[in-house]
Amino acid sequence: MKFGSWTYGGLEVDLQHRDKHLEKEIEEDVEGVDGPTKEIVWVVDRGIDLSDYYPSVEWDILNVPGKRHSKR
């Protein structure tokens, strides 16, 4: 699932993870129109609460990271 805004910029919409104290800052390669660039990304390893998750017999959840990209 991806949340974002294509209408408003970072000054109007600022989505942040509720467990902000668990965030790690990493540098990630991102493919853009002008070619690959480096971008700072904030990552929370456990991005969602799985306490109410009911396991499926057809597929497994392997990981649930939360990533925050900030574009100015």
Q: What is the pLDDT of residues 16-64, one digit of tens each?
A: 788 888 889 989 888 878 888 888 888 998 888 889 999 999 999 999 9
Per-residue confidence (pLDDT) for residue 7, from 0 to 100: 84
Pairing of strands 35-44, 24-32: antiparallel
CB 23 within 8 A of CB 44: yes
pLDDT-derived band at 71, boundaries 50, 70, 90: low
The two structure tokens encoding residue 32 = 């853009």
Top pLDDT among 60 and 12 is at 60
